[in-house]
Amino acid sequence: MKKGIDFPVIIGTRGSELALWQANFTKSVLEKSGFWVELKIIKTKGDTTQQWNLSFDKMEGKGFFTKELEDALLANEIDLAVHSCKDLPTEFPKGLTIAAYSKRANPFDILLIRKESVDETKQLKLKENAVVGTSSARRKAQLMAFRPDIQLQDLRGNVPTRVKKLTEENYDAIVLASAGLERLNIDLSAFEKVALKAPMFIPAPAQGVLAFQIREEDAELKNICELLNDESSSEIAAIERQLLHDFEGGCQMPLGVFAEKTGNKIDIWISQASAWNTFPKRLHVEINEPAADFNSAAIVKQLRNATPTSVFISSALDENEYIIRALKAHNYSVNYETFIEFKQVDFNLPQAVNWLFFSSKNGVKYFFNTTIQQFSNSSIKLAAINQGTAQAIYELGLPVDFIGQGSDLQKIATDFDEVATGKIIFPQAKKSMQSIQKNLINNTDIESLIVYENQPLQNIEKQEAEILIFTSPMSVEAYFSKFKLDENQRVISIGKTTSKKLQDFSVNNVKTAFEPSYWSVLDEVF
């Protein structure tokens, strides 16, 4: 007698709406291949515990949502258990195994904000001192790192219940996994939605992936589960879960792990804090195929053993900047100053402009120094090369219609080319690389607008810090035209153009941030 033909494959599932969606999805895939499938609902400890005064971080990853399903498998009451992979402990009861992993859905978290609590001038679009609902220690630690002013409150219940609480209770915003919301097709039109994407915000290991668990000796069902398996997700989930295991994530430290495969390269980001109210350490690691050879234990050791040292940053910052707070929280000695002199240039804004594209915070500053009054009711759309530049625009109370993603300037140009129409103005320095303009194909009605001049400062001092962080090609030119790198110093660059300039001065072995942001720079520090 054949399983799924002569008698049904019994899928065990929790009774929540999301769990039932996952189980029915699995059921439909198998039924399309002609298999007979039935569902059996099993109540887990996690389902009842959510009613108690117990924070979710005490439950997540410790089997609260899986144990009863695993017990049912071992007792032959069910044949297959469907789990959210992020809820699954890294160690299983003897006799059980994961037979397949689903194609990964949206792996990131999302911030849902009540419309009256939105502030476009603030990072994450949250108003000052906003009350944010989440019970995840991982989410709390990362949110507090970016917005230390917000107030965190625990939030429990299934996905629809949490969304309802945002509407009916005293929350300004809540954080949820995007995958669950998308799978349930919940109407979110009443809220502002802010995607919390990597590398800025690191999700839980294997978030967005379904794990299909069976009895180890069930060879027949193992073959059936090949219909459910996605090879790419299996590879990535294995990496993320191995890191979870080696970090001893079952004790629920605030740990985020995200891996992304591009060609034969896999980028891994880790965010790890000692407690929900401490500043996370961050790390970016690049590995090459075969992924099975990657040394998870060495990565864990690298992050855990990162020791405080001295850091210099070639930029004018303030004490509240993310990277300054992060380094000081981990007892790094930090110094920062600019090597560049800036000067306002008088200009006239052309007529009939459709878009303004800003390539730097300084471009924003010197353009709006004299034009901000014109933009209170302007129909001109604003574009930013990255999140940092976008934030400078938000702080002026203005919307941003396009934000470039990543460090590939050609791709940013291509993405902008697809959405932009009409006349495009590029406010910039007198000395500009014009990288975006050079890569536009569809849009030819473009014009560079000089709004400031910049030149290297002459009176600068040699820096003795062990880590030197350079934030622009001109800062590199200003420094290395006068000084050489000491043997004990290492260099981090904020982007590819800055790294190229370092190479021009024979400064090699440079770490380049994955994207031009201070959190990506921080990934390389640790």
What pLDDT is stored for residue 66 in this prediction?
86
What pLDDT is stored for residue 251 in this prediction?
46
Task: List 272's β-bridge partners, or say none.
Answer: 255, 281
For the segment 233-242, what is each residue's pLDDT rounded down to a tens digit?
999 999 999 9
What pLDDT is stored for residue 64 in this prediction?
65
Of 25, 21, 62, 28, the residue nearest 44 (C-alpha): 62
Flag whether 468 is in a domain.
yes
Do 346 and 447 sit in the same domain of this protein?
yes
What pLDDT is stored for residue 430 in this prediction?
87
Contact, 13 vs 19, CB < 8 A? Answer: yes
Do 469 and 508 sit in the same domain of this protein?
yes
The side-by-side arrangement of strands in the sheet containing 310-313 is 333-336, 310-313, 467-470, 490-493, 511-512
Flag whether 37 is in a domain.
no
pLDDT surpasses 90 at 121: no
C-alpha 417/C-alpha 428 separation (Å) is: 19
What pLDDT is stored for residue 14 in this prediction?
92
Do 329 and 365 sit in the same domain of this protein?
no
* Range of lowest pLDDT (89-93, 255-259, 307-311, 400-404): 89-93
CATH number of the domain enclosing 414: 3.40.50.10090
What pLDDT is stored for residue 61 in this prediction?
46
Do 383 and 354 sit in the same domain of this protein?
yes
C-alpha 346/C-alpha 453 separation (Å) is: 10
Contact, 260 vs 198, CB < 8 A? Answer: yes
- The 8-class DSSP code of residue 115 comes to G
Other C-beta atoms within 10 Å of 92: how many? 16
Of 398, 403, 392, the residue nearest 380 (C-alpha): 398
Look at residues 402, 426, 456 and tell me which one is the last residue of a structural domain: 456
Do 346 and 442 sit in the same domain of this protein?
yes
Q: pTM for this one?
A: 0.90
Do 323 and 346 sit in the same domain of this protein?
no
Of 43, 77, 74, 44, the residue nearest 59 (C-alpha): 44
Flag whether 288 is in a domain.
no
* Range of lowest pLDDT (29-33, 183-187, 308-312, 513-517): 513-517
Which has the higher per-residue pLDDT, 43 or 31? 31
Do 372 and 443 sit in the same domain of this protein?
yes
Do 501 and 366 sit in the same domain of this protein?
no
What torsion, rounded to 10 degrees, do the Cα atoms 122, 126, 132, 137 define?
-40
Q: Which of 360-374, 431-445, 497-511 has the highest mean pLDDT?
A: 497-511
Flag whether 74 is in a domain.
no
What pLDDT is stored for residue 106 in this prediction?
98
Q: Which residue has the tokens 């300037």?
A: 409
What pLDDT is stored for residue 371 in this prediction?
87
Do 345 and 449 sit in the same domain of this protein?
yes
What pLDDT is stored for residue 52 in this prediction?
46
C-alpha 389/C-alpha 391 separation (Å) is: 5
Tell me the average pLDDT across 213-218. 96
Flag whether 114 is in a domain.
yes
Tell me the average pLDDT across 456-472. 96
C-alpha 266/C-alpha 414 separation (Å) is: 23
Tell me the average pLDDT across 433-443. 88
Helix (H, G, I), strand (E, B) or coil at 209: coil
Q: Which residue has the tokens 């306002």?
A: 344
* Range of lowest pLDDT (16-20, 44-48, 94-98): 44-48
- Give me the number of domains the chain comprises: 3
What pLDDT is stored for residue 82 in this prediction?
96
Tell me the average pLDDT across 519-525. 95
Look at residues 420, 437, 456 and tell me which one is the last residue of a structural domain: 456
C-alpha 190/C-alpha 117 separation (Å) is: 12
Look at residues 167, 196, 225 and tell me which one is the last residue of a structural domain: 196
Tell me the average pLDDT across 254-260. 96
Tell me the average pLDDT across 386-390. 89
Name the packing angle between helices 17-32 and 159-168 (round to 10°): 140
Contact, 66 vs 88, CB < 8 A? Answer: yes
Do 427 and 483 sit in the same domain of this protein?
no
Flag whether 447 is in a domain.
yes
What pLDDT is stored for residue 436 in this prediction?
92
For 134-254, list the strands marked E by DSSP. Answer: 151-153, 173-177, 191-196, 210-215
Flag whether 349 is in a domain.
yes
C-alpha 318/C-alpha 309 separation (Å) is: 20
Q: Which residues are catalytic?
A: 87
Distances (CA, A) of 472 to 108, 183, 234, 334, 502: 30, 43, 39, 18, 10
* Range of lowest pLDDT (202-206, 228-232, 351-355, 435-439): 435-439
Do 478 and 329 sit in the same domain of this protein?
yes
Core vs surface per residue 48-78: b (16+ CB within 10 A) or e = ebbeeeebbbebbbbbbbbebbbbbbeeeeb
C-alpha 21/C-alpha 11 separation (Å) is: 12
For the segment 47-69, what is each residue's pLDDT rounded down to a tens digit?
555 444 455 444 444 556 788 99
The side-by-side arrangement of strands in the sheet containing 255-262 is 255-262, 265-272, 281-288
CATH number of the domain enclosing 190: 3.40.190.10
C-alpha 437/C-alpha 416 separation (Å) is: 10
Tell me the average pLDDT across 314-335. 95
Do 328 and 462 sit in the same domain of this protein?
yes
Tell me the average pLDDT across 113-141. 95
Domain span holding position 498 = 307-339+457-525
Tell me the average pLDDT across 113-118. 97
Flag whether 507 is in a domain.
yes
Task: List 288's β-bridge partners, or say none.
Answer: 265
Q: Is the dihedral of CA 472, 478, 480, 483 positive or negative?
A: negative
